[in-house]
Amino acid sequence: MTQAPDSSNATLSQDELKAMVGRAALQFVVPGEIVGVGSGSTVNKFIDVLASMKDQIKGAVSSSVASTQRLQALGIAVFDSNVVERLSVYIDGADEIDHQGNMIKGGGAALTREKIVAAQSARFVCIVDESKLVPTLGKFPLPVEVIPMAVQRITRQFAALGGSASVRLADGRPLVTDNGQFILDVAGLQIGDPLAFESEVSQWPGVVTVGVFAFQKAQVCLLATPAGVRTMNFAGVPNTQRDV
């Protein structure tokens, strides 16, 4: 289903596409409840319009320090995930999404908290522009949050799978996540079986979180295109590791 935009869109920028899909996500926010909120530039657009509903919701559970600060600056209460048992919806972006709703996430280094909030949510609504839709995951270098002392060992394990891992830097030094760990970005992978891949890599010593979201895949993808927002439903394939 494609929801037509307001005017002619042949020249919509990526930023405008993100704003369009951020607005479209409001339809999934349940009045009276707490909403799960992800991280990134697309989610920032969603947070900005969520402010228009702030009196209709209890607040949010956030997946990053950056999103928490943005929510609070707009007057939206942010709850600790430990005091909220269940969320009916989690809204987040992705770096890639395939046609089954599996995703690569972590371009903003928030993948661990994103996976935690996704796991406590009944429904993951992924908001992306059409450049993120791929037949097979892996063109975007896979983010993996790791314990620093395991960097070399995990790099060798990815090399054995044909991947080339490098430590993400910020200002010339290893980027340190909200959880005090490092990010490896792994290029050269073709992830044909996301569930098996996530299952295997998650067990490697020193891996905190792998940025493949197959166990916590999307149920819905709102895909921003120049012709409007297309809704893709993946509800037919169940998640295997969701709390609720």
- Closer Cβ to ligand 5RP, 124 or 234, answer by number: 124
Which CA distances in Å does 156 have to 23, 28, 151, 153?
43, 42, 9, 5
Which CA distances in Å does 3 have to 51, 101, 177?
22, 20, 37
Residue ranges of alpha helices (H) inside 56-185 are 65-73, 111-119, 151-160
Report residue 28 as tokens: 């999934």
Query: Least distance in Å: CB of 234 to ligand 5RP?
Result: 17
Active-site position among 114, 130, 145, 200: 114
Distance CA 179, CA 13 (A): 33
Specify whether 114 is catalytic. Answer: yes
Which CA distances in Å does 69 have to 40, 48, 112, 242?
13, 12, 18, 27
Query: Least distance in Å: CB of 128 to ligand 5RP?
Result: 7
Within a 10 A sphere around the Cβ of 123, how many other Cβ atoms? 20
Say if CB 198 and CB 214 are below 8 A apart.
yes
Distance CA 110, CA 203 (A): 20
- Closer Cβ to ligand 5RP, 94 or 201, answer by number: 94
Q: Which residues here bind ligand 5RP, judged by CB under 6 A?
A: 38-42, 92-95, 105-111, 114
Query: Least distance in Å: CB of 166 to ligand 5RP?
Result: 17
- Closer Cβ to ligand 5RP, 39 or 121, answer by number: 39
Pick from 133, 129, 131: nearest CA to 21 = 129
SS3 159: helix
- Closer Cβ to ligand 5RP, 157 or 216, answer by number: 216
- Closer Cβ to ligand 5RP, 41 or 100, answer by number: 41
Query: Least distance in Å: CB of 55 to ligand 5RP?
Result: 26
Could you list the active site residues? 114
